Amino acid sequence: MTIIDRKQLVAEKEIFISCIVPVYNEEEVIESFLAKLQEQLKALSPHFEIIIIDDGSADHTVERIVGLPKSYHIKLLALSRNFGKEAALTAGLEHCSGDVVIITDADFQHPTEMIPTFLDQWAEGYDMVYGVRSNRDDESLLKRAFAGLFYGLMTKISRINIPSNAGDFRLLDKKVVAALNSIEERGRFMKGLYSWVGFKSIAVPFTVQKRAGGKSSWKFSRLTELALTGITLFSDIPLRIWSLIGFIISLIALVYALYIVTITLIFGVDVPGFATITVAIMFFGGIQLLSIGILGEYIARIFNEVKRRPKYIVGNRFGFDE
């Protein structure tokens, strides 16, 4: 599709927009959010669908959604349990059919007022338009420090370039969606996959809003797991660095051995050295356990892939068959 075609499609409101919204225990905000979202989409084109993926909510989220008017163009995939946001997004991407797809959170933290801007950038020829948060005020110091560390490490050790502070709030052309859907990996790290597929992309800054209600479901343990997934799926350096570390340690050991031999030959046998031995044993024990642990991280993920279980299971669907 040429830029002229894209501009025409947007100007004439002929474009088909899919909006993907993953939700998990959002009963407090979901109705008001969807009321606002469908108004905003309607203003852009009469052709749109809102695909909601209920990620195994334990509250009344699903009932609230099913009760909404037909004019909202809602399609709902209710997963059979909580599979996590990455899996929910994957489900959404595999069930949407728009010319463009917009991904947004349901808690009003992503300013959906920016959708027209995203669409304008798409019309200018960009296949992916991603929101970059200009503030992290809503997050704790610990989460911010952790995020900084993660992005720093990721840039150094992976071959893909993950823009820091970019999240899931973005617009994707259907080409990008097809590319993402062609990835069969079970371990999903969306931030990495968006970069990995490539395509012409542009960042648009946005201010993160306060959560309108309900509470964030991110726990530190979940974030750590996600970071580990990201690192192991997009870099093999943690796996390969041990050859280098082993080589350096062997070299140091050789030099030290030569030193001991020389000293012994010149000054005779030096009996003490228990401390040195204990420290050395502990140090190398630690290094070996660490390297085995890292090996384990990769093996666990290989195990996960070879089992070939589905990435998510749809328990119920509404609005798809008409």
Binding site for ligand UDP (CB under 6 A): 22-24, 26, 55, 82, 84-85, 88, 105-107, 109, 216-218
Comparison of 120 and 139: residue with beta carbon closer to ligand UDP: 139
211: DSSP letter: P
CA distance 275 to 102: 62
Binder of residue 217, out of Mg ion, ligand UDP, none (CB less than 5 to 8 A by kind): ligand UDP
CB of 289 to Mg ion, least distance (A): 37
- CB 80, CB 314: distance < 8 Å: yes
CB of 25 to Mg ion, least distance (A): 11
Binder of residue 22, out of Mg ion, ligand UDP, none (CB less than 5 to 8 A by kind): ligand UDP
Pattern 56-95, Mg ion, x by CB under 5 A:
----------------------------------------
CA distance 17 to 120: 13
Q: Beta strand pairing status for 201-206 and 74-79? A: unpaired
Structure tokens at 150: 């993660």
Exposed / middle / buried, residue 57 (Cβ in 10 Å: 0-12, 13-18, 19+): buried
* Farthest CA pair distance, the chain: 93
Place of tokens 């009321």: 35
Q: How many CA atoms lie within 13 A of 127 on its CB side?
A: 15
Comparison of 10 and 226: residue with beta carbon closer to ligand UDP: 226
Binding segment for Mg ion among 5-13, 105-113, 201-209, 244-252 (CB under 5 A)?
105-113
Place of tokens 């960042």: 203
Binder of residue 26, out of Mg ion, ligand UDP, none (CB less than 5 to 8 A by kind): ligand UDP
Binder of residue 55, out of Mg ion, ligand UDP, none (CB less than 5 to 8 A by kind): ligand UDP
Binder of residue 106, out of Mg ion, ligand UDP, none (CB less than 5 to 8 A by kind): ligand UDP
Comparison of 137 and 185: residue with beta carbon closer to Mg ion: 137
Structure tokens at 181: 């859907």
Binder of residue 88, out of ligand UDP, Mg ion, none (CB less than 5 to 8 A by kind): ligand UDP
Selected binder of Mg ion within 26, 86, 99, 107 (CB under 5 A): 107
Comparison of 64 and 85: residue with beta carbon closer to ligand UDP: 85
Q: Is 109 in the site for Mg ion (CB under 5 A)?
A: yes
Comparison of 58 and 292: residue with beta carbon closer to ligand UDP: 58
- CB 30, CB 65: distance < 8 Å: yes
Q: Is 112 in the site for Mg ion (CB under 5 A)?
A: no
Comparison of 174 and 211: residue with beta carbon closer to ligand UDP: 211
Within the chain, strands assigned E span 17-23, 48-54, 74-79, 100-103, 128-133, 166-173, 201-206, 314-318
Q: In sequence order, what are the residues at sequence separation of 6 or more whose Cβ sits closer than 8 angstroms to the Cβ of residue 261?
A: none
Query: What DSSP assignment string belongs to 152-209?
Result: HHHHHH-SS---TTEEEEEEEEHHHHHHHHT---SS--HHHHHHHH---EEEEEEPPP
Binder of residue 24, out of ligand UDP, Mg ion, none (CB less than 5 to 8 A by kind): ligand UDP
CB of 21 to ligand UDP, least distance (A): 7
CB of 210 to ligand UDP, least distance (A): 11
Binding positions for Mg ion, rule: CB under 5 A? 107, 109
